[in-house]
Structure 1
Amino acid sequence: MDVDRGFYRQVDVQDHAHYIVAFFVLVIGTVGVSGNALVMYAFFCNKNLRTPPNFFIMNLAVSDFLMAVTQSPIFFINSLYKGWIFGETGCKMYAFCGALFGITSMINLLAISIERYIVITKPLQAIQWTSKKRTCIFIAVVWLYSLAWSLAPLLGWSSYIPEGLMTSCTWDYVTSTPSNKSYTLMLCCFVFFIPLGIISYCYLCMFLAIRHTSRDVEKLGSQVRKSTLIQQQSIKTEWKLAKIAFVVIIVFVLSWSPYACVTLIAWAGYGNILNPYSKAVPAVIAKASAIYNPFIYAIIHAKYRDTLAKKVPCLRFLNQASRRDCISISHSESSFRDSMSSRQSSVSKTKFHRVSSLSTSDTQVWSDVELDSMDQSHRVKSSYSLGALRDKEYKSLAKQIDERGSHSQQQISFSPEDH
């Protein structure tokens, strides 16, 4: 191994430690590459999944896939050799790729949270903000922002060096210099803590909006109009998608939190208490953030499961879970239909059956919360158009009921049997 004393640091650890790390890195790399490749394949095969919100999900899968491809094989080989073998240039390129794709994933999660926040709390503005063109622009901004932070150590603001067991590389958060300390602090703030704060604020506002809407509907009770119910169902659909994204965010944050803590400990001047294991283990956990998203999609998203079950023969078992979801949705729709039918009077039973059928079909549309298959603008417009249609149906129904009631009263008053 070509050793440069100014670049490499020797560590004294047992050989089995390297082999254990190599095993976990191999698993992470295999699952990360195959899992995210399946996510991208599903989005590529199913045109219904190619919506603006799902562009962010696709971008997240791309960044996680590239993270696994560029990090795991090199990390694995170095662990087998028990040291860095690709030279200083290889170390810098390895660390640059890890920083670029890791930061991209974090900022992309921030973009997902902001998009969900706008759709749920500001549905009218979502029509303008959720177009495909704007989404692509936001994705480009995410990559440019991540690229700027990743290039900084290559341009002189801090530097990239081997870390932990000397089998992987990252920015120099150990050496106490003004350049390294300032970069570490700014990176933690503008890439981890500030985005995390914004994400928390967005989800707090979304939760309060959902809670406020539900309380309003409960107060209206039986007087609530069908249009309001459909709008509430639409918001609940978006909230379910937001909860899925929230699970992804929580897992990502938990993966990177140990690494952030280690860097801040070194930044605070207590780097001497960190041994090679305390640096290597958080790095492995952070790189494992690329493997969780495919499992989350496979568990929650029915359309994703259906697509994979159809396209990949060995994953046909995923279709069984989708069928159970469909059965549960159909049962809920049947209960909804029965409850609405029971409220109708005998006079308006035939007329209202058509309205109930319309509402049931709409409920079926909004019940499909597994990766929204319609554009946000179309959903918002549809909710208002459907509401207007129902208002007309109810007005017409009420008018006919009044006419029938008055006609029946006239027949009773002028009946020959009364005279």
Structure 2
Amino acid sequence: MDTYSSTLSPALDIGTGCYLLVVAVLSILGNLLILIMAFKRSSKMKPPELLSVNLAVTDLGAAVTMYPLAVASAWSHRWLGGDVTCIYYGLVGFFFGVASIMNLTVLAIVRFIVSLNLQSPEEKIGWKKVKMLCIWTWLYALIWALFPIVGWGRYGPEPFGLSCSLAWGQMKHEGFSFVISMFSFNLVVPSVVIFCCYFGIAFKLYFTYRKPENSNRVPNIIKLHRRLLIIAVLISAGFIGCWAPYGLVSLWSIVCDSSTIPPEVSLLPCMFAKSSTVYNPMIYYIFSQSFKREVKQMRAMCLGSSSYHVSNSINDNTIYMVKIKNSKPKIAARSTLQDITETKTVTLS
């Protein structure tokens, strides 16, 4: 039997290709918008925000390098290119997947560290540290993606024949240590760290704003805090939630016989996992006022409309512009220090 032939019906192959095409277009457009907006406000960007940009790069990279081949294969009713493209597709998919989960983990840790230093006007996480962390996520992902190439683990076709990934069913014995290590260090541990960090941030913010001296804080700042925390939690939960079903099906393929899983059942978690690259731009658009405003501005510019006006209310961008001015009196300096403290909290985004 040809392992690269589709085991699905022709109609389901076409539907799968159409679904992946929509995912690819939405992912490319959405993440390109994030990168364009980040470039436009690069002079005002805070170091932790670079990690969010890095996450958009991983999602965009996955959509560009993987989905066109998957769409073409689905519409051809078989995997195109044989062993060479199968190994390429599996390696690239594993590489960007590990890079994304580790980027989310580092982002959660950085936000937690920043939340512990709200009373300090100095940057605790500078540009150099953030750039080194971004480089580390890529190197870490590359090392794990190369392990199956050098013999620890294996890449192979999915049971339904239209995609390639880690060959779960072939690693019951010789690659079992790889599977346990991979799930431990690239799913379980990162998920626990992300949960603990965001729980700690929520705990810290809750008790910070409950203190009597903080009772006169601007309500908009508190709402902004809550919105930024919601964005971070939704992005992390969305990625883990998308990949969790695929992980469970993969584990079932190792523990039991993969042939017991119908091709249609193994297809659904795979397609759900691929949709993870679409959610981040949607979450930003729904919950980030500044991102939504800038997208509307860009759309108005493309349509040649001059009727769209920018709101002057407190938003995700203007809050970053608070700075200490030494020429002000002490009372004003204390007020500015308080603003800086609030600004520090907002850099959790």
Scaled by the length of structure 2, what TM-score is found? 0.84
What secondary structure sits across from 1:123 in the alignment? coil
CA distance in 2, matches of 1:271, 1:10: 17
Once the two structures are TM-superposed, the CA of residue 242 in structure 1 deviates from its matched residue by 2.6
CA distance in 2, matches of 1:126, 1:175: 54
Once the two structures are TM-superposed, the CA of residue 250 in structure 1 deviates from its matched residue by 1.3
2:78 aligns with one of 63, 79, 83: 83
Asked whether 1:241 is paired with 2:186, we answer: no
Asked whether 1:281 is paired with 2:279, we answer: no
| Gaps in structure 1 of 5+ consecutive residues | 218-223, 330-366, 392-419
CA distance in 1, matches of 2:217, 2:243: 39
What secondary structure sits across from 2:175 in the alignment? helix
1:118 aligns with one of 113, 125, 136: 113
What secondary structure sits across from 1:52 in the alignment? coil
Closer/same/farther in 2, CA of residues 24 and 136 from structure 1, 3 Å limit: same
2:290 aligns with one of 303, 313, 321: 303
What secondary structure sits across from 2:157 in the alignment? strand
- Segment drifting more, 169-178 vs 246-255: 169-178
Closer/same/farther in 2, CA of residues 308 and 176 from structure 1, 3 Å limit: closer
- Partner of residue 57, structure 1: 52
1:161 aligns with one of 156, 162, 165: 156
- Partner of residue 252, structure 2: 265
| Gaps in structure 2 of 5+ consecutive residues | 337-349
1:213 aligns with one of 208, 213, 224: 208
Asked whether 1:143 is paired with 2:138, we answer: yes
1:8-23 to 2 correspondence within 5 Å?
A: 8=3, 10=5, 12-23=7-18
Q: Is the 8 A contact 2:7 2:161 kept in 1?
A: no
2:188 aligns with one of 187, 193, 200: 193
Q: Is the 8 A contact 1:300 1:370 kept in 2?
A: no
Once the two structures are TM-superposed, the CA of residue 320 in structure 1 deviates from its matched residue by 6.9
- Partner of residue 70, structure 1: 65
State the AA in 2 paired with 1:111: V
State the AA in 2 paired with 1:289: S
State the AA in 1 paired with 2:11: H
Identity over aligned pairs, percent: 24
Once the two structures are TM-superposed, the CA of residue 116 in structure 1 deviates from its matched residue by 1.3
CA distance in 1, matches of 2:260, 2:47: 47
- Partner of residue 239, structure 2: 252
Please identify the structure whose Cα radius of gyration is greater.
1
CA distance in 2, matches of 1:371, 1:31: 28
Asked whether 1:46 is paired with 2:41, we answer: yes
Once the two structures are TM-superposed, the CA of residue 45 in structure 1 deviates from its matched residue by 1.7
- Partner of residue 334, structure 2: 389
Considering fraction of residues, name the structure with more helix: 1
Q: Summarize deviations over 1:60-117 as a string: whole Å, max 9, x none.
A: 1110001111111000000011111212111111111111111111111111111111
Scaled by the length of structure 1, what TM-score is found? 0.71
Asked whether 1:294 is paired with 2:277, we answer: no
Once the two structures are TM-superposed, the CA of residue 303 in structure 1 deviates from its matched residue by 2.3
Closer/same/farther in 2, CA of residues 91 and 288 from structure 1, 3 Å limit: same
In the alignment of these two chains, the number of paired residues is: 330
Q: Is the 8 A contact 2:227 2:288 kept in 1?
A: no
Once the two structures are TM-superposed, the CA of residue 9 in structure 1 deviates from its matched residue by 5.6
What secondary structure sits across from 1:305 in the alignment? helix
Asked whether 1:100 is paired with 2:90, we answer: no
Closer/same/farther in 2, CA of residues 197 and 128 from structure 1, 3 Å limit: same
What secondary structure sits across from 2:156 in the alignment? strand
Closer/same/farther in 2, CA of residues 185 and 231 from structure 1, 3 Å limit: farther
- Partner of residue 315, structure 2: 368
Q: RMSD in angstroms over aligned alpha carbons? A: 3.1
State the AA in 1 paired with 2:146: L
1:344-383 to 2 correspondence within 5 Å?
A: 367-369=314-316, 373=320
Once the two structures are TM-superposed, the CA of residue 245 in structure 1 deviates from its matched residue by 1.1
Closer/same/farther in 2, CA of residues 316 and 44 from structure 1, 3 Å limit: farther
CA distance in 2, matches of 1:124, 1:77: 54
Closer/same/farther in 2, CA of residues 235 and 119 from structure 1, 3 Å limit: farther
Q: Is the 8 A contact 1:159 1:172 kept in 2?
A: yes
Once the two structures are TM-superposed, the CA of residue 235 in structure 1 deviates from its matched residue by 7.5
CA distance in 1, matches of 2:309, 2:150: 50
CA distance in 2, matches of 1:59, 1:164: 32
CA distance in 1, matches of 2:192, 2:121: 22
Closer/same/farther in 2, CA of residues 311 and 236 from structure 1, 3 Å limit: closer
Q: Summarize deviations over 1:337-369 as a string: whole Å, max 9, x none.
A: xxxxxxxxxxxxxxxxxxxxxxxxxxxxxx433
What secondary structure sits across from 1:21 in the alignment? helix
- Partner of residue 35, structure 1: 30
Q: Is the 8 A contact 2:104 2:236 kept in 1?
A: yes
CA distance in 1, matches of 2:58, 2:16: 23
State the AA in 1 paired with 2:284: Y
Once the two structures are TM-superposed, the CA of residue 129 in structure 1 deviates from its matched residue by 3.6
What secondary structure sits across from 2:133 in the alignment? helix
Closer/same/farther in 2, CA of residues 246 and 129 from structure 1, 3 Å limit: same
